[in-house]
């Protein structure tokens, strides 16, 4: 039974396979010809593999940057990292995670079918992480057996439909269409950035509008501007860390400045690969998803991973990363002054989530929105883990924790519910929320009629 569960889990948590299956079902539902079904399914999987390859290149180039930062400034603390905390949790909560994830995806379809939250969440690895966190908190709260799986799955299904709906106002501004939803559990930070952009960005030009002298026109190419900007950052941290540290820990004997330059350009290559993968995915998944929405969930939209917004504002991607990381550094200093637990700014979450926050802020408030919105995002994802740690039981004492904003928001709410409510009261509250959403949908349709 465990082997079957983990086989299913491995299929569902791989975004390429999951979205390929969704595309396959959608194309079959539309009664497409066999060649079209094969082409659409394979190209969708290919797009996600390209996207994952780009993400791997990025993470590989960012890892040394984080190590150099910690060494240069001699700071130690907790580094939020979803993969690390989940790998630790699976030893004890693996079966619960697998079952909550599998039934949670079914619950997502049911929620989208019978409520006004018409989004199918397709970011498999984030579904996996959220299922794990829900399983941990509910187990610590005293849930077990069927009740644990039922409440965990329904909670996950509601979350998977709610957060894309929350982000959709800004998503329409970014993409200029209503075809694609946003499925990444950093939504609270992105919506915060978008709202700040609305508040402060009046009259600010987009990050993509650069008025440059003719001899600096090469900076209009985002790959070039990203390479040069990251080269400056890598050089500063490499020099601060010293040749010996870089050669011993990262460059395998290569001169530290040559290594820094190569890593900076590798970072830009990762962004370039991601943008290519996103374009391939969008050209295939949206038409294929029409079959799902027509047959199973009327008017449903696919909610896709955060790099889906990167092609709409490549300059905001870099600005968002740097601003979010700056927010993390400032917040680290504040935590030190308060003598609270130190949350170190993880370079990987600050890139993927901060870059996305920059795109959201730019969509509503131009350059000013991208900078201030992403900075606020960096502050948010530094402070949320401080309040999440106490509700994770024994995992709260690990040297890592969940990184993205929605994990903090959901975890804190569930954790405090667990402190003040019995398991039956929590069950009733989750079921009651689902019933209210169904009733609202039904009554809205009645009023229209």
Mind listing the pLDDT tens digit for each residue in 426-442? 999 999 999 999 999 88
Residue 214 has pLDDT above 80, yes or no: no
Q: What is the pLDDT of residue 1?
A: 63
pTM over 0.85: yes
Angle between helices 314-338 and 256-295 (to 10 degrees): 110
**What is the number of H-type helices and E-type strands within the chain?**
14, 3
pLDDT digits (tens, 9 = 90+) for 45-99: 898 888 888 888 988 888 888 889 888 888 878 888 888 888 888 888 888 888 8
Would residue 74 be called left, alpha or beta, if left means φ above 0 and alpha means ψ between -120 and 50 degrees?
left
Q: Where do the DSSP E strands lie in 154-207?
A: 181-182
Q: 324 with 371: CB under 8 angstroms?
A: no
Can you read off the two tokens belonging to residue 347?
A: 């370079």
User: Which of 232-241, 286-295, 357-366 has the lowest average pLDDT?
Assistant: 286-295
Query: Residue for token digits 């194309």?
Result: 27
Task: Report the pLDDT averaged over residues 145-153.
Answer: 95
Q: What is the pLDDT of residue 24?
A: 86
**Three-point CA angle 81, 131, 140, nearest 5°:** 90
Beta bridge partners of 302: 120
Its sign, for the CA torsion 216, 264, 188, 99, is positive
CA distance 132 to 99: 10
CA distance 239 to 246: 9
């Amino acid at each position: 039974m465990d082997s079957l569960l983990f086989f299913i889990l491995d299929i569902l948590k791989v975004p390429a396979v999951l979205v390929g299956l969704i595309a396959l079902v959608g194309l079959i539902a539309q009664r497409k010809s066999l060649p079209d079904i094969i082409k659409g399914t394979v190209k969708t999987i290919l797009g996600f593999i390209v996207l994952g390859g780009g993400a791997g290149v990025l993470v590989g180039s960012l890892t040394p940057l984080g190590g150099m930062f910690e060494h240069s400034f001699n700071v130690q603390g907790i580094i939020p990292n979803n993969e690390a905390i989940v790998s630790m949790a699976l030893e004890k909560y693996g079966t619960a995670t697998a079952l909550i994830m599998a039934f949670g995806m079914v619950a997502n379809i049911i929620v989208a079918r019978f409520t006004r939250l018409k989004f199918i969440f397709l970011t498999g690895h984030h579904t996996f992480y959220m299922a794990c966190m829900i399983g941990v908190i509910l187990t610590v709260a005293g849930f077990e057996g069927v009740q644990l799986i039922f409440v965990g799955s329904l909670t996950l299904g509601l979350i998977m439909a709610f957060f894309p709906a929350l982000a959709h106002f800004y998503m329409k501004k970014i993409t200029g269409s209503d075809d694609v939803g946003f499925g990444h559990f950093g939504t609270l930070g992105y919506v915060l950035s978008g709202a700040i952009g609305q508040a402060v960005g009046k009259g600010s030009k987009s990050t993509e509008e650069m008025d440059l002298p003719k001899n600096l026109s090469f900076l209009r190419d985002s790959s070039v501007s990203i390479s040069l900007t990251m080269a400056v950052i890598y050089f500063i941290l490499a020099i601060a860390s010293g040749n010996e540290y870089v050669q011993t820990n990262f460059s395998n004997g290569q001169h530290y400045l040559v290594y820094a330059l190569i890593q900076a350009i590798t970072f830009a290559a990762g962004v370039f690969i991601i943008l290519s993968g996103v374009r391939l995915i969008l050209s295939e998944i949206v038409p294929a998803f029409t079959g799902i929405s027509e047959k199973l969930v009327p008017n449903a939209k696919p909610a896709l991973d955060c790099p889906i917004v990167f092609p709409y504002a490549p300059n905001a991607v870099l600005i968002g990363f740097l601003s979010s990381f700056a927010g993390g550094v400032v917040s680290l200093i504040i935590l030190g002054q308060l003598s609270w637990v130190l949350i170190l700014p993880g370079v990987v979450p600050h890139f993927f989530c901060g870059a996305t926050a920059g795109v959201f802020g730019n969509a509503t408030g131009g350059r000013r929105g991208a900078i201030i919105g992403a900075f606020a995002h960096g502050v948010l994802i530094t402070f949320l883990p401080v309040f999440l740690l106490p509700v994770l039981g024994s995992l709260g004492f690990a040297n890592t924790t969940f990184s993205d904003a929605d994990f903090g928001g959901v975890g804190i709410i569930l954790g405090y519910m667990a402190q003040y409510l019995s398991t039956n009261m929590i069950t009733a509250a989750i079921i009651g929320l689902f019933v209210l959403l169904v009733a609202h949908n039904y009554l809205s349709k009645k009023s229209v009629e």
